[in-house]
Amino acid sequence: MGGAAEGDVDSLDDEPKATRAMGHPDWAVYTLAAVLIFTTVVDVLGNLLVIVAVLRNRKLRNAGKKKILKMQNR
């Protein structure tokens, strides 16, 4: 028993259920976390580059407006 509540510890080991990733191996959890973090960082940097490009180039600022006007005139 060891002082732990009956539902707090898995019967197979002494590690609490809340700290385990649904039975997945640690390497899989860390790999998935790294991939998701990397993807998020790349997405944010890419969006920042688009914002900088639009701010620096006047033609890109008006490109969306022209497309909308073209669609309205059909």
Write out pLDDT tens, residues 41-56. 999 999 999 999 988 9
pLDDT top residue among 35 and 9: 35
Q: What is the pLDDT of residue 61?
A: 78
Alpha helices in 5-74 (DSSP H): 26-56, 58-72
Q: What is the pLDDT of residue 13?
A: 59
Angle 64-69-71 from CA coordinates, rounded to 5°: 95
Q: pLDDT by residue (tens digit) across 3-12?
A: 555 555 555 5
Q: What percent of the chain has pLDDT over 90?
A: 38
* Domain boundaries defined on the chain: 23-72
pLDDT, mean of residues 20-40: 90
Contact 16, 9 (CB under 8 A): yes
